[in-house]
Amino acid sequence: MLVPPGLRGASGAFGARDTLVPVPLDGLPDWLPAWCVDHLGSEPAGVLFQLHQVSMVFGLRLAGGSEVVVKARADDGRAVSCVAVQARMAERGFPCARPLTPVAGAGSLAVHAEEFRPGGEVLQGDSPEVAAQCAEVFAWLMAELADVSVAPPLPNPPWVRWDHTDSGVWPAIDYLGNRDQIAVSDCLMDTAVRARGRLLAASLPCVLGHADFEAQNLRWHGQQVWAVHDWDSLAWQPEAALAGAASGAFASAGPPALAPVESSEAFLRAYQDIRGRMFTAVEQEIAWAASLWMAAYNVWEGLGGTLSSNALRAQAAERLRRANA
């Protein structure tokens, strides 16, 4: 069975939030074969892989022999913009899977198909050198997105949704609604409250950006990036915040992790150098606050594990200091 590249959690990227499920052809949802015939001109003949958490991802071999990926998620209004951006990026030659269909409904689901882009390796490590290498790709991605015009892909993915209007620190998410808040440490809550407060205090313009820029969502051939996956995780937040979130999360090759402070610093420095613009003092603070809020969210969601929890505790004070939070 093939392991799908770069598919994580609630927005369709593979990681600790998802379960990889091998299924026979007759185990596919009832709506899927007919959807493939209607939109791809051929029915499924084999299943390469299936993922299911909040979104569903199917790797299929069609009767005509082609291999495709079909993604389905609850229609919350984000999918049309995300797929349109992905198509624009593929047209420009950016390394990502090319959408094969626009978003089309299947009951309450928003569904689209894209080419299957296997191959490449996950870049391991969280050193400053790896950080700079990843920052170069992120800067390229953000530069390409700068003149792409679509309706903002809102609501933002929950791990960067610090600007939510729900009660409490965290955004309200159905599948986490029964989370036992007693298990949330005072340190974690204090960190999240302070980081979120700094983010909300800023008045920076929002831009399009990739909000799940993790090692598990990139594939490389040596020093050359081969594919950036998980375009479901586009967001509408300030540039500095998106870069900051990426600077903390870039090394996550499995469960969410938090990079060392010096590596986040190297990521942000390289990003600004390549973009040819230094962040203002406020943007610097927002970048550090975003890195911390995303890490706190991951720990709260329960997927960061011991390594991420320990890293958050060890780094919280320094990241809060740099965020002026």
The verdict on 228 and 313 lying in the same domain is yes
- Identify whether the C-beta of residue 112 lies closer than 8 Å to the C-beta of residue 58: no
Q: What is the rounded distance in angstroms from the CA atom of residue 62 to the CA atom of residue 42?
A: 6
Of the candidates 191, 204, 217, the one whose C-alpha atom is nearest the C-alpha of residue 163 is: 204
End position of a domain, from candidates 90, 115, 140: 115
Q: Could you give the angle at the alpha carbon of 166 between the alpha carbons of 164 and 167, nearest 5°?
A: 130
Residue 20 located in a structural domain: yes
Residue 1 lies in a domain: no
Per-residue pLDDT, 5: 41
Q: Of 65, 81, 115, which closes a domain?
A: 115
φ/ψ of 112, rounded to 5, equals -150, 165
Instruction: Domain of residue 59: give its range.
Output: 9-115
19 and 98 in a single domain? The answer is yes
In the three-class reduction of DSSP (H, G, I as helix; E, B as strand; rest coil), residue 163 is classed as: coil
For residue 246, being part of any structural domain is answered with yes
Answer yes or no: do 90 and 154 share one domain. no
Residue 109 and residue 17 in one domain:
yes
| 91 and 140 part of one domain | no
Instruction: Find the length of the chain.
Output: 325
Label residue 162 left, alpha or beta by phi (over 0 means left) and psi (-120 to 50 means alpha): alpha
Burial of 202 (0-12, 13-18, 19+ CB in 10 A): middle
As to burial, measured by CB atoms within 10 angstroms (0-12 exposed, 13-18 middle, 19+ buried), residue 3 is exposed
Please say whether the beta carbons of 316 and 187 come within 8 A.
Answer: yes
As a whole number of angstroms, the distance between CA 110 and CA 106 comes to: 7
Domain total of the chain: 2
CA dihedral over 4, 246, 211, 93, signed as positive or negative: negative
Same domain, yes or no, for 234 and 269? yes
Residue 123 within a domain: no
User: Is the domain of 148 the same as that of 60?
Assistant: no
- Kindly report the CATH number assigned to the domain that includes residue 81: 3.30.200
The answer for residues whose C-beta is within 8 angstroms of residue 168's C-beta and 6 or more apart is none
SS3 181: helix
**Which of 91, 115, 139 is at the close of a domain?**
115
35 in the same domain as 143: no
Alpha carbon distance 44, 140 (integer Å): 36
Residues of the chain with pLDDT under 70: 1-23, 53-54, 175-184, 303-307
Question: Does residue 122 lie in a domain region?
Answer: no
Of 245, 52, 97, 240, nearest in space to 160 by CA = 245
Q: What is the dihedral of CA 208, 213, 217, 219, to 10 degrees?
A: 100
Res 198: pLDDT: 98
For residue 4, tell me if it sits in a domain. no
pLDDT (0 to 100) of residue 179: 58
Looking at the DSSP bridge assignments, the partners of residue 105 are 110
CB of 271 within 8 A of CB of 279? no
Q: Is residue 68 part of a domain?
A: yes
By C-alpha distance, which of 119, 224, 230 is closest to 246?
230
